[in-house]
Amino acid sequence: MPAGAGDSPRGSLRVRVVAVLAAAAAAAAVAPAPGEAPTATAPQQGGQAAPKQSGGAAGAEPRIAAKAWILIDARDGEVLASKGAGRRLPIASATKLMTAYLALKKLKPDQRVTAAGYQPIASAEILLGLRAGEKMTARDLLYGLLLPSANDAAHTLAVGISGSEAAFVTQMNTAAQSLGLEDTSYANPIGLDDPNNYSSAQDLVSLADRLLENRLFARIVDTPAATLQSGDRPRRVTARNQLLLDEAFINGVKTGHTIGAGYVLVGSGTRDSTQLISAVLGAPSEPARDAETLELMDYGFSLYRTSVPVEQGDELAAPELDYRRGDLPLVANDEVRVRTREGETVDTEVEAPDEVSGAVERGEELGRVTITVDGEPAASTPLVASRSEEAASLLDKAVATVLNPITLLVLGAIVIVVGLLIAARRHGPANGEKPAENSRRVRREPKERTPDERRKMHEERMQRRQERMSRGGGP
């Protein structure tokens, strides 16, 4: 495969043993490869970030010869090991991560972009060989950008999005600021050395972490080779990330090399649901860069311990059966394994119904159990029925309705009311008799009378008394 500015030719043999690093460094000290333009080193600012390492029976701390490096847990961004993580350094083709970020944000995958007619600076640059005016989908351009690191793919995306490289670079720097990449500056979308084109190990893993959340990006950088069909002719491209080809657990992300930057690799690896992201900047050679990335990964994974909070077949819920007595145990469909660092909290969250209706087949999915680590989902498995159950019969429904507490309360109330009515009829008046009307005694306030009225009333009472006496009656 041809080499060019932004990435150097890689050897056919992967070297992993640290003992070879000294020889590799000596080999890197020779003159640059033909066609690679000499460039200035970016400003080196910022101090060394203190490693934040987790406890546990970990392996030996990494001994990395690169100028700066970092390793983080992709789940929570925890820094597992680092050196000079905030140091501003040239990053070569790792620049293309921001080019990809804007392309994914501004273009649809199937959108066709017209090739802008790129003029390479050096004969050894990596190119797709795009003809000016040729149309290729954004998806295929991203494959060409990220796997072989083609400079004409980067140029075409930049011009297609912004109209010119200069305008695109402005958008790159604006995006870097919005993402909080404080130690990052871009001068071109390719990664050619320039004093104003630099970043830090910390910023690179932050950007890669965000990009890996995009499914298309994650799929592309985890692809060893692909055939691009949307241009004038099919093109076969191969990833320059040798670790992606050699190590099953490696799933990205981006290589880079220029004279000013040395050898750069932003890596990603996953084991047992734990994903780590690394950045190695300024390594003396490609074998050294790859070996140091693997050493970082091995160290990082050694900090984790595997636990099995849920075994296959564990009963985790027992919803009631509708209209029937009893419940239906729900069991874990699979074993759930998680890897955690010392001090992390593992919790189990169960989602299951309170009641099961209708017929159920054994093994039918009725819920889910999720394992969280420090509150973040880490792994899950379905909850399935432990046995089959037929739907409730009409008799089941009738019996359940009768025995329902609410139904019993209503029936009890009806019985009480009927009993009271019967009792009232037994103690009522005899047949044919009308109930006596209730006499009401009305209390009246005494009327205020005048002296003449009182005298007259007295005279009337005396007269009635005399009349009774004259008739022989008593007083």
Residues 6+ away with beta carbon under 8 Å from 209 = 72, 74, 77, 277
Question: For 357-362, what is the mean pLDDT?
Answer: 88
CA distances from 248 to 223, 245, 338 (A): 11, 8, 19
pLDDT band at residue 263 under the 50/70/90 scheme? very high
The confidence band for 33, taking pLDDT boundaries of 50, 70 and 90, is: very low
pLDDT tens digits, one per residue of 287-304: 999 999 999 999 999 999
Closest CA to 304 of 81, 63, 56, 75: 56
**Tell me, what's the pLDDT at 202?**
98
Q: Which of 7-11, 64-68, 318-322 has the lowest mean pLDDT?
A: 7-11
Strand residues in 215-304 grouped as ranges (E): 225-228, 235-238, 250-258, 262-271, 274-283
131 within 8 A of 232, measured Cβ to Cβ:
yes
**Which burial class, exposed, middle or buried, applies to 428 when counting CB atoms under 10 A from its CB (0-12, 13-18, 19+)?**
exposed
pLDDT of residue 397: 57
Helices (H), 20-95: 21-28
**So what's the pLDDT on residue 404?**
63
pLDDT band at 50 (very low <50, low <70, confident <90, very high): very low
Decide if pLDDT at 29 tops 90.
no
**Mean pLDDT for the stretch of residues 16-31:** 32
Q: Pick the range with the lowest mean pLDDT from 216-220, 225-229, 354-358, 396-400.
A: 396-400
Of the ranges 59-68, 226-235, 326-335, which one carries the lowest mean pLDDT score?
59-68
How far apart CA 261 and CA 284 sit, in angstroms, is 10
Catalytic position from the list 54, 82, 149, 268: 149
Looking at residue 22, its pLDDT comes to 32
Mean pLDDT, residues 442-466 taken together: 73
Q: Domains along the chain?
A: 18-303 (3.40.710.10), 305-417 (2.60.410.10)
Q: Summarize the confidence of residues 240-260 as an average pLDDT.
A: 96
**C-alpha dist (Å) from residue 51 to 55, 125, 223, 281:** 12, 37, 32, 16
Active site residue 199: no
Which of 293 and 60 is assigned the larger pLDDT?
A: 293
Cβ-Cβ contacts under 8 Å for 419 (sequence gap 6 or more): none
**Averaged over 450-457, what is the pLDDT?**
80
**Token reading at 427:** 């103690």
Q: Is 149 a catalytic residue?
A: yes
Q: Is the pTM of this model over 0.75?
A: no
Active-site residue among 96, 185, 268, 278? Answer: 96
Instruction: Give bridge partners of residue 107 from the DSSP assignment.
Output: none
- pLDDT reading at 167 higher than 50: yes
Q: Give 103's Cβ-side CA count (13 Å radius).
A: 31
The closest alpha carbon to 35, from 106, 113, 170, 126, belongs to: 126
* 250, 221 Cβ separation under 8 angstroms: no
Nearest-angstrom CA–CA distance, 151 and 246: 25
User: Which of the residues 93, 200, 268, 278 is marked catalytic?
Assistant: 93
Structure tokens belonging to residue 414:
């009806």
Higher pLDDT, 422 or 5: 422
User: What is the SS3 assignment for 69?
Assistant: strand
Q: What size, in residues, is the chain?
A: 475
Is 273 one of the catalytic residues? no
Band (426; pLDDT cuts 50, 70, 90): confident
Which helix (H) or strand (E) covers residue 453, if one does? Answer: helix 451-470
For residue 45, pLDDT beyond 80:
no
Q: Omega before 253 cis (within 30°)?
A: yes
Percentages (nearest 5) of helix, strand, coil residues in the chain: 30, 25, 45
- Is the pLDDT at 219 greater than 70? The verdict is yes
Identify the pLDDT of residue 445: 57
471 pLDDT band, cuts 50/70/90, is: confident
End-to-end CA distance of the chain: give it in Å, rounded: 149
**pLDDT at position 461:** 78
Instruction: Report residue 61's pLDDT band, with 50, 70 and 90 as the boundaries.
Output: confident
Q: Percent of the chain beyond pLDDT 90?
A: 60
Segment (H or E) for 301: helix 286-302
Instruction: Find the helix or strand (DSSP H, E) in which 235 lies.
Output: strand 235-238
CA nearest 100: which of 244, 259, 269, 213? 213
> What's the chain's average pLDDT?
83
What's the pLDDT at 25? 35
Mean pLDDT of 245-266: 97
Predicted confidence (pLDDT) per residue in 371-417, tens digit: 999 898 989 999 999 998 887 666 555 555 655 677 667 767 787 88
CA distances from 44 to 14, 29, 184, 239, 274 (A): 30, 21, 11, 30, 33
What CA–CA distances, in Å, run from 458 to 130, 245, 284, 447, 452?
A: 137, 134, 139, 16, 10
Q: What average pLDDT does range 275-294 have in this prediction? A: 98
Q: Report d(CA 186, CA 161) in Å as an integer.
A: 16
Q: Which is it for the CA torsion 106, 112, 118, 122, positive or negative? A: positive
